[in-house]
Amino acid sequence: MPVAALFRDDFYLKTAEATVTAVHEDGGIELDRTCFYATSGGQPGDTGHLERADGSRIQLGQTRHGASKDIIIHVPLDGQPQPFVGERLKLAIDWDRRHRLMRMHTACHLLSVVCPHPITGAAVGEDDSRVDFDMSETIDKDAVTAELMALVNADHPVYLQWITDEELAANPGIVKSKNVRPPVGLGRVSLVCIGDNSSVDSQPCGGTHVARTGEIGAIHIAKIEKKGKENRRFRIRFGEAPAEI
Ligand SMILES: [Zn+2]
C-alpha cells in the first residue's frame, strides 16, 4: 500500500505517529505514513524504533522499498514483537546516524561539483562514503579536500525544487549519474539545489540532505583509488585529513 513519505518534505523529521497497514510473513511492517528513509540512491535506509501504546518498542534494523518506490518496508531486528494491522505506533528514527548520513550524502554532492565527471556509482556510509567517477586523469586528494572544505565553509543553502518526470526527461543534461537512475516514477522528481539560485549545483536526487553546507563539518578525501583505466573511486571521511608521516 502506498505510504506517505514524510521525510521527503522534511529531512529533519525525527518522530511521527502512524498506523500499521500490513505485516508481512517475514516480519516487514508497512505503515500509512513514515519518517523512515528507505534504502535507495546509494543512501542506506534508517534504523530506529516503533513504540507501542504500552511503551514497549520494536527495534528496526533497516528500512527498504517494497516492489515499488511508493512502498516502504520497516524491517525489525530478529526476535522483536510483531504489531497488528490497525495498531497505532510512535515512530522514532536513529537521528544521530541519519544526521551523519545526511552530512555525508550532501558532501557527495559537493564532491561532484569539485570533480565534474560522470558518476558511475556511489555509496553513502556513516563513517566513510565512496563516489566513483568516469575519469582518467590523476587528481591530488589534498587539493580536492581544500576545494570541498571551501564549499563547506561558505555555508551555502541546500534546498529542494520539484520538477515533473516529463521536465526531467526533456532536460537529460541535468543528470550527472551515468548508471544511478534519478528518482523517477512518482510523477515528480526532487532537484537538490546548492547555493542561492542553484549557483553551486543542482542534481536530481531522492536522498536526504542537510540544510546548509556548513552543517557537514570537517571532511576530507582519504583516498583516490584507480579502478580501471577510466574509473576513479574517491573515499570521503569525516574529520580533518590525518597528517602525512
Ligand atoms: Zn542527494
With a CB cutoff of 8 Å and minimum separation 6, the contacts of 30 are 1, 3, 20, 21, 22, 23, 24, 66, 71, 72, 73, 74
Write the DSSP assignment of 180-206 as a string of letters.
Answer: S--S-SSSEEEEEEESGGGSSEEEE--
Tell how far the Cα of 112 is from the centroid of ligand 1, in angstroms.
Answer: 11
**CA of residue 203 to ligand 1 center, whole Å:** 8
Q: Rounded mean pLDDT of the chain?
A: 93
The rounded Å distance from CA 109 to ligand 1 centre is 6
Tens digit of each residue's pLDDT (9 = 90 or more) over 56-87: 999 999 999 999 889 999 999 999 999 999 99
CA of 147 to the centre of ligand 1 (A): 19
DSSP 173: G
pLDDT value of residue 179: 58
Query: Rounded to the nearest whole angstrom, what is the distance from the C-alpha of residue 54 to the centroid of ligand 1?
Result: 37
Residue 176 CA to ligand 1 centre (angstroms): 11
Q: Are 175 and 72 in contact (CB under 8 A)?
A: no
pLDDT at 224 over 80: yes
215 near 99, Cβ under 8 Å? no
CA–centroid distance for 85 within its chain: 29
Inter-residue contact 21 to 48 (CB < 8 Å) = no
Residue 245 has pLDDT above 70, yes or no: no
Query: What is the share, in percent, of the chain residues with pLDDT greater than 90?
Result: 77
> Please, are residues 181 and 69 in contact by the beta-carbon 8 Å criterion?
no
Least confident range of 39-53, 61-75, 125-139, 185-199 = 185-199
Q: What's residue 107's pLDDT?
A: 97
Is the pLDDT assigned to residue 54 strictly greater than 70?
yes
pLDDT at 21: 98
**208 CA distance to ligand 1 centroid (A)?**
6
pLDDT at 139 over 70: yes
pLDDT in tens, 43-53: 999 999 999 99
Quote the ligand 1 centre to 88 CA distance (angstroms).
31
pLDDT given at position 181: 63
Q: What's the half-sphere exposure (Cβ side, CA atoms, 13 Å) at 201?
A: 22
Ligand 1 centroid to Cα of residue 180, in Å, is: 11
According to DSSP, the β-strands at 33-34 and 4-5 are parallel
pLDDT for 184: 67
Is 217 in a helix, a strand, or coil?
Answer: coil
Predicted pLDDT of residue 146: 97
Dihedral in degrees, nearest 10, Cα atoms 116, 121, 42, 73: 140
Measured between its terminal Cα atoms, the distance across the chain in Å is 56
Cα 206 from Cα 221, distance rounded (Å): 24
pTM of the model: 0.92
* Cell numbers at 24, concatenated: 508481512
Average pLDDT over residues 190-210: 93
pLDDT higher than threshold 70 for residue 98? yes
56 C-alpha to center of ligand 1: Å? 34
Check whether 178 has a pLDDT greater than 70.
no
**Residue 112 three-state SS:** helix
